[in-house]
Amino acid sequence: MNERIKKKGAVDSGTASSLIRLEQVGKSYGSRKVLSEISLSLDRGESLILRGGNGSGKSTLLKIVAGIIPASSGRIHRSSKQLQTGYAPDRLPKLRMTSEEYLIHMGRIAGMPTAALTTRIEELHELLELPAHSPSLLIHYSKGMLQKVNLMQACLLRPALLLLDEPFSGLDTASSEKLLTLLHGLRAEGTAVITALHDPLPSWESVSTTYRIREGQLILEEPNTDEASNSGSVRYELDGLLTEKARERLAVAFPRVDWTAAGNAVRCGIPSEDCHAFMRDFWQAEGIVLSLNRKEGEV
């Protein structure tokens, strides 16, 4: 196993209580080796980001973890044979069904009781701002609308393990924020999440461990390494909701953060080097992020 991987808690031999644990997993398509000796473990509520260039093997790894394709070598241990797993592939095929029909179908396959399924479908449509009872067929949906249905099917069960392949692809800014809220909520409830991502996503990175797949190996990425050298000119501006007590505690812990507060609403100017730790503590204090923006050249 790669030495850099051994240093980090989430990617090692894991523990017997891990939700899922991969040991020296490899994958070849014919004679082409795509992944080799991938070892990782994930516990409840943990989040892991997979990065890597096109064709590096991110989707392949997600499919192996989801149990959709077999590994060519190594072992996979799941905490239970019935581990509830939600998986959103990089794109949903366009089907001759409405979103409601499709989700009812998926929920029934997963064994969800009708009443719970109906409520959950309504809830997810509302959250991601799609009409729940639209008569339009999925073949007529736009890319972003289809992606929302894809995400909904993965989140139907409130899975213990959620696997998302480029989940933000095709979503507009408002929908991306809704999805982030959904992900943070699921994570807080104990769902472990693995996301394959291309674009930077500071508020999700702040609560995640990031790995890059390079030449078939999983390499740990240190947080904010790209910004370390020019962090003096990068800040994040967060608008959110936080109790006064939590704000007082965070203000002491992060003296370099600028605060503007009105009741529970806060605006925080966060130096880049504090962002990772600040966001972690903000979420732990059950703060709600309304927006988070990167600001350059504003110290």
Ligand X SMILES: Nc1ncnc2c1ncn2[C@@H]1O[C@H](COP(=O)(O)OP(=O)(O)OP(=O)(O)O)[C@@H](O)[C@H]1O
What interhelical angle do 173-188 and 114-127 show, nearest 10?
140
Between residues 197 and 242, which has the closer beta carbon with respect to ligand X? 197
**Site string (40-79) toward ligand X, x via CB under 6 A:** ------------x-xxxxxxx-------------------
Binding residues with ligand X: total (CB under 6 A): 11
What's the min distance (Å) between Cβ of 126 and ligand X?
A: 30
What's the min distance (Å) between Cβ of 199 and ligand X?
A: 12
Of residues 34, 95, 241, 285, which one binds ligand X by CB under 6 A?
34
Helix (H) or strand (E) holding 38: strand 32-42
Between residues 129 and 215, which has the closer beta carbon with respect to ligand X? 215
Between residues 107 and 216, which has the closer beta carbon with respect to ligand X? 216
What's the min distance (Å) between Cβ of 52 and ligand X?
A: 5
Helix (H) or strand (E) holding 281: helix 272-284
210 in contact with ligand X (CB under 6 A): no
29 in contact with ligand X (CB under 6 A): yes
Helix (H) or strand (E) holding 226: helix 225-228
Between residues 158 and 212, which has the closer beta carbon with respect to ligand X? 212
- Give the residue from 88, 96, 84, 173 showing the smallest Cα distance to 124: 88
CB atoms within 10 A of CB 278: 21
CA angle 76, 77, 80 (to 5 degrees): 135
How far apart are alpha carbons 219 and 212 in whole angstroms?
A: 5
Tokens of 144: 């972003």
What's the min distance (Å) between Cβ of 170 and ligand X?
A: 14
What's the min distance (Å) between Cβ of 229 and ligand X?
A: 27
Residues, the chain, total? 299
Site residues, ligand X (CB under 6 A): 29, 34, 52, 54-60, 90
